[in-house]
Amino acid sequence: MLPRSSRILRSPSLQHGMRYASSAAALNEIGKQHVTNGLGRISEGILSKGSGSYVEYLDGKKMLDFTCGIGVTNLGHCHPRVSKAAADQCMNLVHGQCSIAFNEPYLRLIERLLPAMPHPSLDSFFFWNSGTEAVEGALKMARVLTGRQNIIAMQGGYHGRTYGSMAVTKSKTIYSDGAAPLMPGVFSIPFPYWHQHGLPTSAPTSVLTEQSLYQLHLLLSQQTSPNDTAAIIVEPVLGEGGYIPAPKEFLEGLRAVCDQHGILLIIDEVQCGFGRAGSWFFIEQSGVKPDILLMAKGLANGFPLSGIVSRKELTDKLIPGSMGGTYAGNAVACAAACAVADAFREEDILSNVQARSKQLFAALHTLKDDQTLSPYILDVRGSGLMVAMEFASSEGPGAAFDPATPKGLSVKKGMASRVAKKCIEKGMLLLTTSVYEVVRFIPPLNVSEADMKKGCDIFAESVREVVRES
């Protein structure tokens, strides 16, 4: 008997020169048999089309997409201007390898991004493909430029699934389970999030900030000397850790510590950047200057592109050839990103983010204020259109010690995923996040008022049903 994989490869439909499997059911079967089990999926079926705020599956099912493919299609699926720019570029130059010569869209993109930088000192760019590569590049730059090894990360932070980025990821153990040894020299401090300090939801921001900065000072005197510390890496809005915007004072505190000790501040805006959290980059709301700024996801609205931006004065110290990558700064992805930047400005995307953000927060607060639901809802938070609702759980991590858990209320673990599942059944894609009971809203930044209302209605219905069933 042949192993199962050989049987499928020898099946008539897949042999070279023969007919290919064409029905949705046959393709699904290929997915089940031949796509790695290491991938998880929140919905059944095969995506075949995307347009604006909606995706379509091969069987014709249409869904409102409040995930944006995890914060990527910020201008909606297949934004005509972005798709056209990419298609046109495909007819001119697809691969203009960055170590052979500059390619035109790469430089045109820098022209468009320079005025959007949160600080004028950020004037030196390197484009790569994915967020995790940008993180790897930043960690390498920090070590090379400071001659120091250690990195301080945030508890709850997520930075990717390659070895350096896995090491600084502290949001869930599943990302590195069994994969050790990871990159050495990584330390972490708690983020100013009440769970991480064992404080109630009512804990004031000032207390959370003080506690986190206190832990940073302890860390620098007990575990990693400033002389050995190359960088602090932080997502200014914690993504996989629960959608928590960092208080301005916390970011200022990190900057002050970095300035005091010559440590580089790496701001990872892979998820929260590009308008997602209400401004081009969230960090600009605090006025804090990054030494290295990372972006990806919304940058090219679905084409693989990431960016590492720093100061020329720093990047001039890098040895030519020490940065690079076969596909880094692909011409088609850069052309798409130019169109994204143009659409951002000309379609006044940020005004829509403000209006839809208010609409979404109002709908979520209405649920939180409803007496039948309020015991089950711990928090509504976020910035711009990076918004979360956190539910209670009497079984979550450390629930017995956690003052946020309502006493006497019995809520089984998994409320967030039950709500997300209901939303999917009712026609809206929605994701959970973190080790806590959190659902996250990542709608397109140009979502219409009507589609936002539809999404909020589906969500409200789902929450009510899950609470009734609890």
Contact residues for ligand PLP, defined by CB under 6 A? 70, 130-132, 135, 158-160, 235, 239, 268, 270-271, 296
DSSP string covering 409-450 = ----TTHHHHHHHHHHHTTEE-EEETTTTEEEE---TT--HH
Least CB distance to ligand PLP at residue 264 (A): 17
| CB-nearer residue toward ligand PLP: 328 or 458 | 328
Dihedral of the alpha carbons of 294, 83, 448, 244, in degrees to the nearest 10 = -20
Least CB distance to ligand PLP at residue 267 (A): 10
Amino acid code (one letter) for 226: P
| CB-nearer residue toward ligand PLP: 156 or 239 | 239
SS3 sequence, 107-143? HHHHHHHHHHCCCCCCCEEEEECCHHHHHHHHHHHHH
Least CB distance to ligand PLP at residue 160 (A): 4
Neighbour-count burial for 255-288, b at 16+ CB within 10 Å, e otherwise: bebbeeeebbbbbbbbbbbbbbbbbbbbbbbbeb
d(CA 418, CA 470): 10
* Cα–Cα distances in angstroms (integers) from residue 462 to residues 2, 31, 314, 367, 372, in the given order: 47, 29, 51, 11, 14
Q: What does the block give as tokens for 408?
A: 């006497």
Q: Give 390's strand partners.
A: 379, 438
Query: Three-state SS for 257?
Result: helix
DSSP string covering 37-102 = TT---SS-S-EEEEEBTEEEETTS-EEEESSHHHHT-TT-BT-HHHHHHHHHHHTT-S---TTT--
| CB-nearer residue toward ligand PLP: 87 or 179 | 179
Least CB distance to ligand PLP at residue 238 (A): 8
| CB-nearer residue toward ligand PLP: 238 or 467 | 238
Least CB distance to ligand PLP at residue 403 (A): 28
Least CB distance to ligand PLP at residue 440 (A): 11
φ and ψ at 34, to 5 degrees?
Answer: -120, 0
Least CB distance to ligand PLP at residue 40 (A): 14
Q: Give 292's strand partners.
A: 266
Least CB distance to ligand PLP at residue 226 (A): 25
* Cα–Cα distances in angstroms (integers) from residue 15 to residues 10, 11, 12, in the given order: 6, 7, 5
Is 400 buried (19+), middle (13-18) or exposed (0-12) by CB count in 10 A?
A: exposed
| CB-nearer residue toward ligand PLP: 273 or 451 | 273
**DSSP single-letter state for residue 162:** S
| CB-nearer residue toward ligand PLP: 192 or 239 | 239
Name the residue whose CB lies closest to ligand PLP. 131
Dihedral of the alpha carbons of 328, 334, 337, 341, in degrees to the nearest 10 = 120
Least CB distance to ligand PLP at residue 157 (A): 8
Least CB distance to ligand PLP at residue 59 (A): 28
| CB-nearer residue toward ligand PLP: 122 or 238 | 238
| CB-nearer residue toward ligand PLP: 160 or 242 | 160
| CB-nearer residue toward ligand PLP: 96 or 241 | 241
Q: What does the block give as tokens for 398?
A: 């450390």
| CB-nearer residue toward ligand PLP: 305 or 424 | 305
Instruction: Please say whether the beta carbons of 419 and 467 come within 8 A.
Output: no
Q: From the centroid of its chain, how far is CA 106?
A: 23
Least CB distance to ligand PLP at residue 82 (A): 18
| CB-nearer residue toward ligand PLP: 65 or 235 | 235
Least CB distance to ligand PLP at residue 182 (A): 16
| CB-nearer residue toward ligand PLP: 138 or 338 | 138
Give the contacts of 386 (CB within 8 A, at least 6 positions apart).
71, 237, 239, 243, 271, 272, 276, 277, 440, 441, 442
Give the contacts of 414 (CB within 8 A, at least 6 positions apart).
393, 437
